[in-house]
Amino acid sequence: MIKPYLIFMPLFCLMSTLAVAQKTKEESASQQPDVKRWEVGVGLGGLTAPDYKGSKTYHEYIAPLPYVVYRGPVIRTDRDGVRGDFLRTDSIELNASMALSITPDSDKNALRLGMPELLSTLEVGPAVNINLTGEHFSDGLSLSIPLRAVFTVGDGSPDYIGITSTPSLIYRLDHGDGWRWTLRAGPVLASGKYHDYYYSVKPEYVTPERPEFNARSGYNGFNGQVSLSRRFSDYWYAFYFRYSNIQGADFVDSPLVETEHNAVAGFAVSWVFL
């Protein structure tokens, strides 16, 4: 049977921050009639990631992915993901966005044997972005404050599993040789329902090695990540790395947590033909 993450892997590669959008060019292009509103391509993406934060079990995936850029007046799809811009100036943005988080075969995780399988999740919600330095958002330092509702996907009807927020400082840099960098760092906060989905152990799943545990809302850890991308003629290359630290998180004492340190790495290569 085809697993949900194989179906949604292309969307994940498109919507995540695997690469940095060349925003100055994108924004100016959307206002010039001689520049295409659409760009379409195909490519390949790879990812290595833990089953969930705190797990020592990693999986690797290779899958095809679409390359789609749409420069609309409100709705945009680009290398920053899918978003709707409701307020956009050089100093502040208010937009709606979504992201997909891929969960591997959690039913094969030794710590979760006999427990329900974790599903991939879709996050949807508003975000406020504030430009702290520079003339626009494409370079320099900015602050992003998103608030997203999280839903499971891929197995029947979507289920609401809580809220997350990832306020982050973001530094974007055009290196001058065609490569564009993004550095992002900040805490992660989540509701009790979200933590409960990943880290609680209900009485019916208690074993001698897995005691009961009830997760609460609060601190979800700290993320630091870097991504870079470059366009060579009709080809686009991107690389991504994220480090997560959950020291001090409420759920760190869950029997489902093995480590306080995790890393996620990925790449994407696309051929743009339209």
- Top-ranked range on mean pLDDT: pick from 75-79, 105-109, 123-127, 201-205: 201-205
Q: What is the pLDDT of residue 274?
A: 83
Selected residue with higher pLDDT from 104 and 6: 104
Q: At residue 58, what is the residue type?
A: Y
Q: Which residue has the higher pLDDT, 155 or 2?
A: 155
Torsion sign over Cα 103, 81, 182, 66: positive
Q: Which of 182, 176, 189, 179 is nearest to 80 (CA)?
A: 182
- pLDDT tens for each residue of 216-252: 999 999 999 999 999 888 998 999 999 999 999 989 9
Q: pLDDT band at residue 83, thresholds of 50, 70 and 90?
A: low
More confident residue, 215 or 236: 215
Instruction: State how far the alpha carbon of 240 is from the alpha carbons of 45, 128, 184, 263, 264, in Å.
Output: 11, 23, 11, 11, 8
The one-letter code for the residue type at 266 is G
What domains, with CATH codes, occur in the chain?
4-272 (2.40.230)
Residue 6 has pLDDT above 60, yes or no: no
pLDDT of residue 251: 96
The tens digit of pLDDT for each residue in 22-64 reads 443 444 444 445 556 788 889 898 889 999 999 999 988 888 8
Strands (DSSP E) contained in the chain are 38-50, 58-71, 75-78, 81-88, 92-101, 120-131, 140-146, 148-153, 160-165, 168-174, 180-190, 218-232, 235-245, 261-272
104: pLDDT strictly greater than 80:
no
pLDDT above 70 covers a percentage of the chain that reads 80
Q: What is the pLDDT of residue 71?
A: 67
Q: Cβ(14)–Cβ(65) under 8 Å?
A: yes
Work out the pLDDT band at 84, boundaries 50, 70, 90: low
The pLDDT value given to residue 13? 44
What's the pLDDT tens digit per position in 63-78?
Answer: 888 887 776 665 655 5
